[in-house]
Structure 1
Amino acid sequence: MAFPLQGEDTCQHLLPTPLPNPYWVGFESNLAKELGITVDASGLPQDPRWLEVLSGIALETHEHTFADPIATVYSGHQFGIWAGQLGDGRAILLGDLRGYELQLKGSGITRYSRMGDGRAVLRSSIREFLCSEAMHALGVPTSRALAVTGSKKSVLRESLETAAVCTRLAPSFIRVGHFEHFAAARSTEHLTTMADYLLTHHYPECQGTDDPYLALFAAISERTAKLVAHWQAIGFCHGVLNSDNISILGLTIDYGPFGFLDRFQMDHICNHSDGQGRYAYQRQPQIMHWNMACLAGAMLPLIETRYGSELAQEHLQKTLEEFPEIYRAAWLKHFRTKLGLLTPNPDDTSLVESLLQLMHHNRVDFTNTFRALSHFDASHDARSNPLRDQFLNRDAFDTWMQSYVARLKEEKCSHAERQSHMLATNPKFVLRNYLAQIAIEKAQNDDFSEVKRLLAVLQDPFSEQPGLEEYAAPPPAALEHIEVSCSS
């Protein structure tokens, strides 16, 4: 088992609660092949027992046996407040499969469920399935999703819905919250075991340093800073950046009330449960930095063993202060590429920020704006650019374009070379909330064709895909303000 702690105080050994009369809602055949699962002509597993395994009914297929499923304990800060003990309240880790941990989300009550029913609903399971694979196709570090299985079993949220199980995978599901839990429990032994496991299996480059634990914290913080920079560059809002939702590997995990930006608003809130806007788009870098401060506090006992308390805090603080610099450099690198700027210039930050301000004030579509800029030829009159008509303040747009064209003329690459970089960076297709909602509503009526079709579109986000332009369109007015909550 990949999870390094197996005691009674760290996890619960239990069987999933079977999903009654399950059926396939979605299945990712390409990922299945990577995992050594043989698929048939329809793209589903050739071995029918996979349906039972991924629905919590069985633990064995012809080729694989999952002998010891577990749910793990962790703690964390939720919306900035210490929540104490949490844990896998509806996710059960089946075991390892070709370098991944395979986890069933929605597979029943565990001792960490608190007041929950241990189930996930069809709606949220489809969203996580589609977005995990969409993010992977966009090149964003993420957990993966192999399948969604559904059932007619009723579960109560704001209304009566049906249950589902989402099968998700990651090299490890260890979170910041795991470290916080064992730090709160004053278990330096468990902290050490977990850190040593990460050093051996996921951060081997830190092992030969002067202080491997401090190097481990620095590496985790660096990955996290680069992750959130990537989110900002594609207009992705996570929605619930609680410390228990933060991967120790710098992956995007726990897809809940997420959303991709349509009309760009810097202060966009994608989670209607987030009344104060703690996790708004523009605050994501700050919040992830805050989560790294939580991790620093949890890892302090490990660093103290070498330096003592005061010096350990100084070293961690110094490392924490590097987060904004790493983030800013990664953010600027992403946006330079999005604008086709292949050589650095000191004025690029101002150019990017002024564009984002212009987009914010004119409420233009985030994804489509950058995609349209990818097709812009600097040798043509900028005033003839169709993108100009998307901006209410055309004078302001013209002024920015003058600066942009002047900057492009400093580049030595050809238009074709620049366009190639931009089109490979600025996606045409992202998982817009309204597209997910259309697929969900069809699936709720037992039509899973749109889940399959939308997945195929999202797996090739940078190509033009002629004939599928509807999937690149901004939401119609009636679907522009879909609200997503933590309830799933």
Structure 2
Amino acid sequence: MILHHQYAEQLSSLGSYVVPSPLDNMQVELFNHELAQQIGFPIDDISPDQLLAMLHSPSTPFTFKAFAQKYGGHQFGHWNPELGDGRGLLLGELKNQQGYYTDLHLKGAGPTPYSRHADGRAVLRSTIREYIGGEALHALGIPSSRSLCLFSSNTQVLRETAEPGAMMIRTAPSHIRFGHFEYYFYAQQHDKLEQLMDYTIANHFSECANADNPYAELLRQITLRTARMIALWQCHGFVHGVMNTDNMSIHGITFDYGPYAFMDYYDSNAVFNHTDQGGRYAFDQQPGIALWNLNALAHAFSSHCSIDELKDILSQFEPTYLAQYNSIMLLRMGLESTSEHKSCLTTWLDMLASEQRDYTYSFRQLALCDGINLCDSLRDNFIDRRRFDKWWNHYSALRQRSANQSTDLTRLNPVVIPRTHLLQDAIESAELDDFSKTTTLLEATSTPYDKKWDNHDLSKPPATTSAVSLSCSS
């Protein structure tokens, strides 16, 4: 196997080499065989247990050039230059048969120069949440980092309480964040900033190289990808929880899973991060925050782009976001992009909000109807039947005239998502060395449209509509 080290070798001054620090009695609990095949990991030559063993030696291809990246970020709107890979290490890049490179990044690898006196560890709770979250979003068609494997251990890590420590290998096209560019811009290290930009274009955005201004085109592509990703978050009720610029990927993929959650009952103001008292990263704020973050990133491009170029690029966020959002949401309902159909969608969401109906369950029940024959399970989901009947009659008439009338909506509306209570149930079992619930939930969220889950317990909304509050700590 050839593991490349392009970032570490070409941008060695933008971070530090660090040898991973294994945990006690590490065991392979999850391994993503499908992903391994896609990214070119030689599973026939290196078994998961052999991979684990190689992480214990400082001289294997996975460890001898392990690299901690330096970056900064705007955290809750405030600039913080004292960031970087405080618990993660870029092991290298893997090249598949199609010639695409994928980062292998070890999370929970121990202290680095950027740990800020922390232990550099991750806990089992957060690694399970990230592993399942990434696979779930991928299955929903939402771009995301993904996990190759998860290792448990006997090491106890102190957070709010003592928890089992764990490690995972995360994959992504790269681990370059908005905060990478911001750091070298604010540090006035313009030579390193340009080196980073040129590396990014050459290795990840080669289509920008022949543009009149490659740097402007790079920012444009980041903007468009981000807009489309955020639209998909909004379509599926996903709340990231902590959209700091150091948690934003230049590839427009969901990145750095912390206090994320999928909404249960529909609440446009939903906040799940208990430290976000002001609701900065609430569900309905995510599009605006994404644009705010892109504006922060654009400052780092100001030496390479004119003010008019930057304004033009940022102005493309909103129409791109709206086009993606409206297209997906209307298609999920078998409707078209007309003002009348959009009004029907708005009324549907208003009904979900006013009656605190479960977002995913309601869309799935709607999908199980054919737009003509009303399912009792959908109607019975609402208290104000008079309002619902009026809406249904309008929707049914629109659906029958729609070009999307014959679309199978069950292929667009998931039955299973990684709900917070399901994740917590799996985590509590895993902490007792029982990963059966984890693997079942992983299977279900990786096949979220399959009708076999419709009558399964994993498809049911939680019994209570009480608010969920999650911690950032991992």
With the length of structure 2 as denominator, give the TM-score of the two structures.
0.93
- Tell me whether 1:32 sits opposite 2:9 in the alignment: no
Whole-Å Cα distance in 1 between the matches of residues 21 and 248 of structure 2? 26
Contact 1:239 1:258 (8 Å CA) reproduced: yes
Match of 1:18 among 22, 25, 32: 22
Tell me which amino acid in the other structure corresponds to 1:18. Answer: P
2:242 is matched with 240
TM-fit CA distance, 1:93:
0.7
Contact 1:5 1:193 (8 Å CA) reproduced: no
**1:164-204, Cα deviation, whole Å (9 max, x unpaired):** 00210011000000000010011222222222222222222
Determine helix, strand or coil for the equivalent of 1:284.
helix
Whole-Å Cα distance in 1 between the matches of residues 188 and 179 of structure 2? 14
TM-fit CA distance, 1:404:
1.2
Contact 1:74 1:178 (8 Å CA) reproduced: yes
Q: 1:154 to 1:399 in 2, by over 3 A?
A: same
Determine helix, strand or coil for the equivalent of 2:103.
strand
- Tell me whether 1:460 sits opposite 2:460 in the alignment: no
Match of 2:146 among 137, 144, 147: 144
**1:183-237, Cα deviation, whole Å (9 max, x unpaired):** 0011222222222222222222222222111111111000000000000111110
Identical pairs, percent: 37
2:50 is matched with 49
Whole-Å Cα distance in 2 between the matches of residues 332 and 447 of structure 1? 42
- The residue correspondences of 1:295-334 to structure 2 (distance < 5 A) are 295-303=297-305, 312-334=306-328
Determine helix, strand or coil for the equivalent of 1:72.
strand
TM-fit CA distance, 1:45:
6.3
- Tell me whether 1:395 sits opposite 2:389 in the alignment: no
Stretches of structure 1 that go unaligned for 5 or more consecutive residues are 304-311
Contact 2:29 2:149 (8 Å CA) reproduced: yes
1:254 is matched with 256
Determine helix, strand or coil for the equivalent of 1:329.
helix
Tell me which amino acid in the other structure corresponds to 1:316. Answer: L
1:427 is matched with 414
Determine helix, strand or coil for the equivalent of 2:401.
coil
Whole-Å Cα distance in 1 between the matches of residues 6 and 451 of structure 2? 40
Contact 1:4 1:193 (8 Å CA) reproduced: no
Whole-Å Cα distance in 2 between the matches of residues 177 and 45 of structure 1? 34
**1:24-43, Cα deviation, whole Å (9 max, x unpaired):** 22222222233444658xxx
Q: 1:178 to 1:65 in 2, by over 3 A?
A: closer
Tell me which amino acid in the other structure corresponds to 1:400. Answer: W
Tell me which amino acid in the other structure corresponds to 1:97. Answer: L
1:156 is matched with 158
Whole-Å Cα distance in 1 between the matches of residues 65 and 434 of structure 2? 35
Q: 1:187 to 1:158 in 2, by over 3 A?
A: same
**1:324-353, Cα deviation, whole Å (9 max, x unpaired):** 111111110110111112x43233332222
Shifted more, 100-109 versus 194-203: the winner is 194-203
Match of 2:353 among 360, 384, 399: 360
1:294 is matched with 296
Contact 1:191 1:302 (8 Å CA) reproduced: no
Tell me which amino acid in the other structure corresponds to 1:70. Answer: F
- The residue correspondences of 1:55-204 to structure 2 (distance < 5 A) are 56-58=55-57, 65-98=62-95, 99-204=101-206
Whole-Å Cα distance in 1 between the matches of residues 204 and 10 of structure 2? 19
Whole-Å Cα distance in 2 between the matches of residues 118 and 385 of structure 1? 52
Determine helix, strand or coil for the equivalent of 1:347.
helix
Determine helix, strand or coil for the equivalent of 1:150.
strand
Q: 1:375 to 1:321 in 2, by over 3 A?
A: same
Tell me which amino acid in the other structure corresponds to 1:365. Answer: D
Whole-Å Cα distance in 2 between the matches of residues 369 and 38 of structure 1? 42
Whole-Å Cα distance in 1 between the matches of residues 210 and 94 of structure 2? 29
Whole-Å Cα distance in 2 between the matches of residues 349 and 481 of structure 1? 29
TM-fit CA distance, 1:96:
1.2
**1:230-275, Cα deviation, whole Å (9 max, x unpaired):** 0011111000000000000101010010001111111010111111
Whole-Å Cα distance in 2 between the matches of residues 469 and 45 of structure 1? 36
Contact 2:414 2:448 (8 Å CA) reproduced: yes
Whole-Å Cα distance in 2 between the matches of residues 190 and 348 of structure 1? 50
Structure 1 segments (4+ residues) deviating >6 Å: none
With the length of structure 1 as denominator, give the TM-score of the two structures.
0.91
Tell me which amino acid in the other structure corresponds to 2:33. Answer: S
Whole-Å Cα distance in 2 between the matches of residues 248 and 467 of structure 1? 36
Whole-Å Cα distance in 1 between the matches of residues 11 and 411 of structure 2? 47
Shifted more, 448-457 versus 263-272: the winner is 448-457
Tell me which amino acid in the other structure corresponds to 1:328. Answer: L
Determine helix, strand or coil for the equivalent of 1:302.
coil
Cα RMSD (Å) of the superposition? 2.1
Whole-Å Cα distance in 1 between the matches of residues 7 and 466 of structure 2? 41
Whole-Å Cα distance in 2 between the matches of residues 252 and 377 of structure 1? 33
Determine helix, strand or coil for the equivalent of 2:277.
coil
Whole-Å Cα distance in 1 between the matches of residues 278 and 9 of structure 2? 37
Paired residues in the alignment total 465
Tell me which amino acid in the other structure corresponds to 1:96. Answer: E
Whole-Å Cα distance in 1 between the matches of residues 435 and 133 of structure 2? 16
Determine helix, strand or coil for the equivalent of 1:301.
coil
Whole-Å Cα distance in 2 between the matches of residues 219 and 397 of structure 1? 42
Whole-Å Cα distance in 2 between the matches of residues 47 and 173 of structure 1? 23
Determine helix, strand or coil for the equivalent of 1:73.
strand
Shifted more, 14-23 versus 349-358: the winner is 349-358
Whole-Å Cα distance in 1 between the matches of residues 466 and 30 of structure 2? 26
Q: 1:402 to 1:59 in 2, by over 3 A?
A: farther
Q: 1:468 to 1:111 in 2, by over 3 A?
A: farther
